[in-house]
Amino acid sequence: MTVNLRIPGPTPIPNDILTASSKQMINHRGPEFKALIESITGKTKKAFETTKDLYILTASGTGGMEAAVVNTISPGDKVLAITVGIFGNRFVQIAKAYRADLTVLSAEYGRAIDPAEVQRVLDANPSIKAVIVTHNETSTGITNDLANISKIVKGQFGKLLLVDAISSIGSIPCPVDEWDLDIVVGGSQKGWMAPPGLSMISVSDKAWEAYEEATTPKFYFDLMPAKRYLERAQTPWTPAVGIMFALEVALDKLAAEGMDNVHERHAKIAKMCREGVKAIGLQLFADESHASNTVTAVRMPDNVNGAELLGTMRTEYDVVLAGGQAELDGKIFRIGHLGHCSESDIQNVIESLVSTFEKLGVNPAKASLA
């Protein structure tokens, strides 16, 4: 039986994309690569809904987050960090590592940030230069209201806005230009259905202005060499060519489906997942009014050993789910439904959960109420 890989990335990869990833190598300074990088950059820009600059970095999404910070922030710059979970905290750690002067605005795990709070903090701290925010928080299954956050950060205050959209863009609407987002970071292993190892990053004119002033030391993630080399259809450092081959086919698949349809599919499957989980007596962890369309976090029923639950799902039913991270370890489990995911994949998750709880002798409805 095929494994039903339902973690929030890497996602399962359709066969034609996998096949593309195993094409023979080419010269990364030759004409075939020129065609490849121009194709994937253009198509990713379309999916990002941006006409601004966009670069494809050979790195995990975390590398893209680091690029967002080191290219625009100087040590001592005042930065507002909005965090609602583990990945928001990671953005905080990156900014802290590079010596930003941080104000942290956080919401309880499982809740989105209230845009009014952002307004309050920016009102009270006029010297803040930039705001960093997670669009979709993978660790808790929450999607922040980025459209309204941007209206405040950009529309009212004209600050620089750096967005970790790794687990949203390509799956959940995140129109970069319409929302006036300065830097937006994506990751190849999410809704794009490609292998992990590439991070996409869009850069607005205002972000380039910030670049000119930013004194943070950088080299590998310096976006100026990326810009210069892209002008001649290359990357400054040897790129992950195989993943780029895969990404090209993936982008064509998404374009063929139509990004609006891709977003609708994610919304529909996510809703089905939440309803399925509730129907068998489990409780959602995240505030449902801001529930993510790429990952659903579920409270671990009392008296259930998380490792046993996930282990049984995996070994008995070939369903691979994600546990909770850091302080959420053992308290939640997470179902990824981004990228290559169908209704029957989610149906299989729900049915396997029912069977697993039976096997473990647990009634989730009762356990959750305990």
Our finding on whether 23 is near its own copies (CB under 8 A) is yes
* 201 lies in the site for its own copies, by CB under 8 A: no
According to the binding rule CB under 8 A, does residue 1 interact with its own copies? no
Residues 44-73 that bind its own copies (CB under 8 A): 58-63, 66
Q: Which of residues 323 and 330 has its CB atom nearest to its own copies in the complex?
A: 323
- Which of 157, 208, 211, 237 is the binder for its own copies (CB under 8 A)? 237
Quote the CA–CA distance of 163 and 326 in Å, as a whole number. 22
In whole angstroms, the minimum distance from the beta carbon of 225 to its own copies comes to 10
Q: Is 242 in the site for its own copies (CB under 8 A)?
A: yes
Which sign does the torsion angle of CA 206, 202, 337, 322 carry?
negative
Cis peptide before 10 (omega within 30 of 0): yes
Quick count: other Cβ atoms within 10 Å of Cβ 336?
28
How many angstroms separate the first and last alpha carbons of the chain?
Answer: 36
Least CB distance to its own copies at residue 321 (A):
9
Is residue 21 at the binding interface for its own copies, with CB under 8 A as the rule? yes
Per CB under 8 A, does 249 bind its own copies? no
- Number of DSSP helices (H) and strands (E) in the chain, helices first: 13, 14
CA angle centred on 339, ends 23 and 348, rounded to 5°: 115
Among 39, 93, 106, 119, binds its own copies (CB under 8 A): 93
Alpha-carbon dihedral 84, 89, 92, 96, rounded to 10 degrees: 150
Q: Which is nearer to its own copies, 65 or 152 (CB)?
A: 65
210 in contact with its own copies (CB under 8 A): no
Task: Answer for the pair 177, 25: CB distance below 8 angstroms, yes or no.
Answer: no
324 lies in the binding site for its own copies (CB under 8 A): no
Quickly count: other Cβ atoms within 10 Å of residue 306's Cβ.
18
Binding mask 296-315 for its own copies (x = CB under 8 A): ------------------x-
Report the residue from 239, 301, 306, 324 that binds its own copies according to the rule CB under 8 A: 239
Tokens of residue 94, six digits: 């990156």
H-helix or E-strand spanning residue 136: strand 136-137
Count of residues touching its own copies (by CB under 8 A): 58
Q: Which residues are at the interface with its own copies (CB under 8 A)?
A: 2-3, 5, 7, 9-13, 18-19, 21-30, 58-63, 66, 93-94, 97-99, 187, 189, 195-197, 216-222, 236-243, 246, 314, 320, 322-323
